[in-house]
A and B are shown apart, each in its own frame.
Chain A
């Protein structure tokens, strides 16, 4: 089962991060969270921080999938889990990129 988890874990993390950031956007817009931090809009700072955290977690997971102690023993599982690891990282970077450029609650 650990090998199956190795294959599924990175896209699962992306899904969790994607849903969490969308949920955060809902909270910010639904509860009218506003204000500024260091001259920057608080909602934008929160969303970009979440975006950064998502990418960081995906990158850490990918590194773990390459680590000899954590990688699968089966060459096939190692190969597939690393592809899905890269897929998770690229998906996090691409699908959450709008936090940096689009208006949040319009």
Chain B
């Protein structure tokens, strides 16, 4: 088969449907990556327009441009859009588009999950935009602190839009994080051991793991605050055993890592683009990986530095002040490695390099002011002033927007297959750089003079007028610069000047294909022996197109790729992807109905939407299976691999593992909240302890213990070729027993609306009940699969996945029962 014939056959297998249908049914990472990025930049534009409105308001004293009600919505939506609807999805889009290409594979691990995440993001984002257009957008600041955001002080629907809309959008982040983690670990080119992974993949992996552990506390906080607002469960009301500081802990447990979740992918872009711009290799690859890991973990130990003014004991302040200064060290390791890379190479001032230099100037200043606010006495003075606003913009614009713009200009020729004709980008960079620094240097100054954040106006006698005007003029220069970048990109796309395949002479695999990339990415998968395979073999792209790699022969219309061993990169599984489907968009629409029903308090549609999602989820998984044992596939001459359905640790098992790690963080945050209220909140101990029937505790405990044992018995029986149904049935009974015990906790908990203790037990019971229902559904589903012949001694992958869920249910079931019964027994 020649290269052209291979291309035609692969394109027929991998292509999306034509026209609008293709948008809705595509599961291809090329399409979805571009759609994610485009949507994220649309939100960036909207967030930017809101920023202009803020600066218009603050340009002069006593401004009547917007009243306080509208102004509150403007700054709240600006922060919310930039953090949740631009920065994180932009990373997701970049990772989705880029990872399969730089890792040398054909798609991400779970293509339909990518599509589902995208549509959740779009629907959730649109929900927030509609609120803004209707004038009922969130208005309590992007971190939406109670008691201000509680039902008493914010009685409208505005705050509900934030809590429900953002939770909806975060499904997308969790989905992308699971996707990225499994893809980086398992979906790589043969031979790509951990030390040969492109540096961007390391950053993406670390960021995805941070999303899995950083986002659940915020999701929990949003659930608790919405429960308080909708049903009066008093988690954040001090007079009823709650504490508004709990929100701050949960929010910043997410919020501070979020800063690094935004910065690390951008650092990945720098580490990828900078060596190419300097015609050299990255200095200190191992040190950079270690620094990124260190930074990720340290970022989880900084959350209280946002709470230095809340009356925390001195020793607590000192812990977090120390951690906040220490985090500068791994950041500096990366900065020095990049400076060393420039020193080692011969920097060429192409447009991406200009943005990288913009990053250096801006981010280093932001980092240094970060060290300033890490020092408690300074923070006490600067807290909630414009100085902090300026600092965070230096970190986020410097640490994310400049690198992303470098990435845009670096990879644009890859996305379009074209080259730039006009030099508008250089002028635009100058305007962005100057405009940004004028705007935010001035904001540092006015902050130190005492201007608070979020104020709608000020008086002339405050002495801030000239500085604010300078800042506003700077912001409009910045906006003009960004608009020029948009025009430059549009011109690049519209003027079809054909570019070279590898215009930057880069060494990474994304350039070893035709541009724009075909839907199948690689005609055959490369064998990788170094970090820069394309630099080692400049003809690699041609050789792969000729079929001199793995999986060179398209088979039976199947979308094929292979998985590798995590450490060594040795091929270990053959994988067949699902084809185009509208299932993800339909399921995300139904998920949207669930959230919308909660928002408008139309509760009778909630169970309908949930049932719809469950049915579609079953349909989703049902379509994966096969009723005959798959033959091993020859992926290259002399190398034969078994199908993933026969593996104990299939891609689905890995995906479940990482999804459960996010779930466990959610549960851990809930237990932390329980312990926090008990220890710190006023009004404890509660007036009445939980005194449920011990028989229910016994039934629940029995169910929790019997489930894992039964699933193991089922797995052993299946391997022997015996029927697994008795074991699965017993696991189902175990799950139902846990469900009954958790339901009893919910029913018997004392006065959930009267005290935070009862409210917390209600949520703990609900969490257990939900997972027990999920476990029962999965066990029932597996039984149906066994009966219909979808499993065999060889096809065992589904057993391991259900077993993992049942194990998790067992652990959390026991902990829920312990948390409910133990305090009452001890008292």
Contacts and interface: CB of A to CB of B under 8 A. Distances in A.
Interface of A: 1-4, 7-8, 11-12, 14-15, 18-19, 21-23, 25-27, 29-31, 47, 74-77, 79-80, 83-84, 87, 91, 94-99, 102-106
**SS class, residues of chain B in contact with chain A:** helix
B745 interface: no
A102 B330 contact: no
B323 A74 contact: no
Contact of B298 (A11, A47, A79): A11
A80 B289 contact: yes
B301 A4 contact: no
Contacts of B185: 1, 4
Contact of B297 (A1, A14, A26, A104): A14
B313 A95 contact: no
Nearest to B566: A1
Contacts of A31: 679
Interface string B314-346: 111011001100100010000000000000000
Given A77-B194, A103-B314, A22 B319 contact: yes
Given A18-B301, A26-B680, A80-B290, 15 more contacts: A4-B566, A12-B297, A15-B300, A15-B301, A76-B194, A77-B194, A87-B294, A91-B298, A94-B326, A95-B319, A96-B319, A103-B314, A103-B315, A104-B313, A104-B314
A105 B680 CA distance: 12
Nearest to A3: B567
Interface residues of B, number: 32
A29 B675 CA distance: 14
Given A98-B322, A102-B315, A80 B286 contact: yes
Task: Give the 7 A-B CB pairs with smallest separation, nearest first.
Answer: A76-B195, A11-B297, A98-B318, A30-B679, A83-B290, A95-B322, A87-B294
A37 B655 CA distance: 50
A102 B315 CA distance: 6
A2 B297 contact: no
A8 to B, nearest CB: 7
Contacts of B675: 23
B670 interface: no
Interface in B652-707: 675-676, 679-680
A94 B322 contact: yes
A89 B676 CA distance: 27
**SS class, residues of chain A in contact with chain B:** helix
A18 B319 contact: yes
A31 B678 CA distance: 10
A84 B676 CA distance: 30
Question: Which of B194, B290, B296, B298 has the largest count of A CB atoms less than 10 A from its CB?
Answer: B290
Interface in B604-621: none
B552 interface: no
Contacts of A21: 319
Given A3-B194, A14-B297, A95 B314 contact: no
A3 B315 CA distance: 36
B195 A25 contact: no
B827 to A, nearest CB: 15
A79 B286 contact: yes
A84 B314 contact: no
6 contacts: A11-B296, A22-B316, A75-B195, A84-B290, A87-B294, A98-B322
Nearest to A43: B315
Interface string B709-744: 000000000000000000000000000000000000
B193 interface: yes
B316 A25 contact: yes
B231 interface: no
Contacts of B289: 7, 80
A99 B195 CA distance: 39
A98 B322 CA distance: 8
Given A25-B313, A79-B286, A102 B318 contact: yes
A31 B675 CA distance: 12
Question: Which of B315, B318, B326 has the largest count of A CB atoms less than 10 A from its CB?
Answer: B315
B152 to A, nearest CB: 26
A97 B318 CA distance: 9
Contacts of A79: 286
Contact of A25 (B290, B301, B315): B315
A83 B297 CA distance: 14
Contact of A77 (B316, B567, B679, B680): B567
A104 B130 CA distance: 49
A71 B293 CA distance: 18
Contacts of A106: 313-314
